[in-house]
Amino acid sequence: MKENLSEVTKYIQIAKKNHRQGDIYKANEIYKKLINRKIYTYDLLISYGQFNKEINNLKIAKNLFLLSIKKYPSKINSYILLAEILRKENNVSDAIKALNAAKKIEKLNSDIDYNLSISYKTIKLFKEAIRSIDSAIKHQPDNQIYQILKADILIECFQDEKAKEILLNLKFKEDSLLYFQKEILISKIFINQKNYKLAEKVLLELRKLFSKQKILYLNLSDLYFKNKELKKGISILREGINNFPKFIPLRFNLGIMYRNLGLIELSIKTHIEILLDDQFNSHSFYELSTMYDFSSHDQLLKTLLNIEIGNLSPKEKIYFGYSKANIYHQNKEYKKSSYFLKIANDEKLKIQPSDIKRKLKTGEYYRNLKIEHDYGFEKVKDSNRYIFIVGMPRCGSTLLESILSLNPKVKDLGEVSFLEESLQRSDDLLEAKNLYKEKIMRINSKKKIFTDKNLFNFLYCPIIYELFPNARIIHCMRNPLDNILSIYRTNFLNQSFSSSLSDISKLYLYHRDLMKEYKSKFGSMIYSYDHDKVVQDPEESIKYLINWIGWDWSDKYLSPQRSKRSVFTASSAQVRKKINSHFLGYWKNYEDLLKPISKSFPKYN
């Protein structure tokens, strides 16, 4: 037996050498022969598991680590490696269970705490993440990797100053990967602070030292995306793709930027090319399903429709579920579309429960806030003018902003969270007002009229009324059942209420009643914009709107599809088309799906 074990160890070393030299096939054959002999040593199971993890055979790696835990339950490394696989599968709750099982075996192990912290950070449980990384640091206070992770977590929950203090105390050689990670985090702090120029400076300096780091090009492209500098983003992505032609995340970002810039054909082409290299890329399938019918790519369509969703990870179920629903919607197979919509949204709710309670709580807070009038608010009109577009998602607001953006004096901000962030930063309303104006001033624009399309600003109407006396609020509405269906059909990443038909309906009714109250309180400051009337009779409706704002009329407002602006919403492809009424009453195709909530809207049944 000892000879067998010695032989196994020898062959493991040969397999590792082949792997290092890039001969994946030979390494795999050696490992397979050893496994087939069923001499399951700990070293073999871990080595072959790590090999499969590195070449992305995650299912085999996972099974090997599970077998290792079964045969060697006291060995901690198996649990940690299993947790890494589970995180990759987006199964973070099971990753945490595996790590907690390891913690019962070895309570004071900083590697377990480190991995627990990563897991908690992944699902945005930041208090638990900080507690775990603090435990790891307590046992290894000089471990700078742990310090880097703590700073990263603090940045994620906007504790920038604490993160900066940690990072500035870390000293690394400029050519080290830890220095690279530190500077990446410093750039994130600047991005949090909306100081995009400083963030860009940090990242461009890093490019001189680390031009072969893929993540650098991703971070630069994300920065340009956030700052709406899409042409710069496309340029940096092309540079990155030239260096790493097979790195799909860079190509995916390029497809997204093409779409938001209105280059729909280039976006489609980019995602098709991704799928030709990675035929099960759920994200590219989803993006394509929102703007393309696969009419020239039958094989890709067959691949998508034949994928068995039940065998997928939760994240993959979501993306493939939405993709299939979109294709069946295009083919007018609405029952099948409904089926896959429900699968996708139910999976999303498991990962991220609805946030409706937080939204309602915020609305009630500002609805009942007693604003003291000794603040000394300036009732004089400042030099800038703000137009707040509010309502529910998918209410037609992107079309509205495109119409308004045709005025050359307008700078469209898109769905910025400037007002919410300013109010969170300070309870002093004057300070919050100044913080909002500072965020606007950081935008490189000489224009004086700004459209703010954060739709949930309807929660803050009393604050807008008090802080910005020359502002205007446009409340955008459409048929509620069309609106609710459209929200449910969209894969919103940061609006978890959108995966519950019941919660969408509740929030719709709440926002409608709230805005009715605010219209009676604040009068002519708020305009009721009816999307359905606009698409049925554009000329009369848009003329009325432009007159209300006080602008001179021009026929250009009837052709928003000609706007060259970048669009960063789910409507980025749709808004490039002429105004049309194709989607009016579309909810009737989904009557069975909407039956539980349609009774709340008897007028529209």
Give the separation between CA 465 and CA 525, rounded to whole angstroms: 8
Q: How confident is the model over 119-125, as a mean pLDDT?
A: 89
Amino acid 562: pLDDT: 66
Give the separation between CA 548 and CA 472, rounded to whole angstroms: 10
Predicted confidence (pLDDT) at residue 199 exceeds the cutoff of 60 = yes
Between the alpha carbon of residue 46 and those of residues 17, 20, 25, 34, 78, the distances in Å are: 16, 16, 18, 13, 7
Amino acid 157: pLDDT: 86
Comparing CA positions, the residue from 366, 472, 380 lying closest to residue 429 is 366
Spatial contact of 106 and 75, defined as CB atoms under 8 Å apart: no
Does residue 106 lie within any of the structural domains? no
Mean confidence (pLDDT) of the chain: 89
Amino acid 3: pLDDT: 47
Does residue 425 lie within any of the structural domains? yes
Q: Radius of gyration over alpha carbons of the chain, in Å?
A: 27
Q: Which two tokens stand for residue 13?
A: 């070393």
Same domain, 439 and 580: yes
Quote the number of domains for the chain: 2
Amino acid 460: pLDDT: 96
Residue type, 420: E
Does residue 486 lie within any of the structural domains? yes
Predicted confidence (pLDDT) at residue 573 exceeds the cutoff of 90 = no
Give the separation between CA 349 and CA 446, rounded to whole angstroms: 43
Same domain, 342 and 361: no
Helix (H, G, I), strand (E, B) or coil at 90: coil
Largest CA distance in the chain: 92
Predicted confidence (pLDDT) at residue 509 exceeds the cutoff of 90 = yes
Same domain, 557 and 503: yes
Between the alpha carbon of residue 397 and those of residues 228, 390, 443, 452, 520, the distances in Å are: 18, 8, 22, 11, 22
Band of residue 2 on the pLDDT scale cut at 50, 70, 90: very low
Does residue 449 lie within any of the structural domains? yes
* Domain CATH code at residue 576: 3.40.50.300
pLDDT one-digit tens code per residue, 321-380:
999 999 999 999 999 999 999 999 999 998 889 999 999 999 999 999 987 655 555 555
Same domain, 346 and 375: no
Comparing CA positions, the residue from 353, 560, 538 lying closest to residue 451 is 560
Same domain, 371 and 430: yes
Band of residue 581 on the pLDDT scale cut at 50, 70, 90: low
Same domain, 303 and 347: yes
Same domain, 543 and 599: yes
**Which residues, other chains included, contact 440 with Cβ-Cβ below 8 Å and sequence gap of 6+?**
384, 413, 418, 450
**Which residues, other chains included, contact 402 with Cβ-Cβ below 8 Å and sequence gap of 6+?**
560, 561, 563, 565, 567, 575
Q: How confident is the model over 304-326, as a mean pLDDT?
A: 91
Q: Which helix (H) or strand (E) holds 316?
A: helix 314-330
Between the alpha carbon of residue 395 and those of residues 166, 359, 553, 567, 584, the distances in Å are: 44, 18, 24, 15, 12
Does residue 93 lie within any of the structural domains? no
Q: How confident is the model over 24-36, as a mean pLDDT?
A: 87
Task: Examine the fold and report which residue of 351, 374, 397 is the final residue of a domain before the chain moves on.
Answer: 351
Q: How far apart are the first and last CA of the chain?
A: 77
Beta bridge partners of 37: none
Amino acid 450: pLDDT: 92
Between the alpha carbon of residue 292 and those of residues 263, 330, 490, 601, the distances in Å are: 13, 9, 16, 33
Q: Is residue 56 classed exposed, middle or buried when 0-12, 13-18 and 19+ CB atoms within 10 A define those classes? A: exposed
Amino acid 384: pLDDT: 73
Q: Could you list the residue range(s) of the whole structural domain that residue 306 is in? A: 292-351
**Nearest 10 degrees: CA dihedral of 201, 204, 206, 208?**
-130
Same domain, 409 and 555: yes
Amino acid 442: pLDDT: 77
pLDDT one-digit tens code per residue, 232-242:
999 999 999 99
Spatial contact of 194 and 442, defined as CB atoms under 8 Å apart: yes
Same domain, 317 and 421: no
Does residue 504 lie within any of the structural domains? yes
Residue type, 585: G
Q: Which two tokens stand for residue 567?
A: 């669009």
Predicted confidence (pLDDT) at residue 257 exceeds the cutoff of 80 = yes
pLDDT one-digit tens code per residue, 130-176:
999 999 999 999 999 999 999 999 999 889 999 999 999 999 999 89
Does residue 257 lie within any of the structural domains? no
Task: Examine the fold and report which residue of 351, 367, 398 is the final residue of a domain before the chain moves on.
Answer: 351
Same domain, 414 and 540: yes
Same domain, 460 and 575: yes
Task: Examine the fold and report which residue of 311, 333, 351 is the final residue of a domain before the chain moves on.
Answer: 351
Does residue 227 lie within any of the structural domains? no
Same domain, 464 and 320: no
Q: How confident is the model over 211-221, as a mean pLDDT?
A: 93
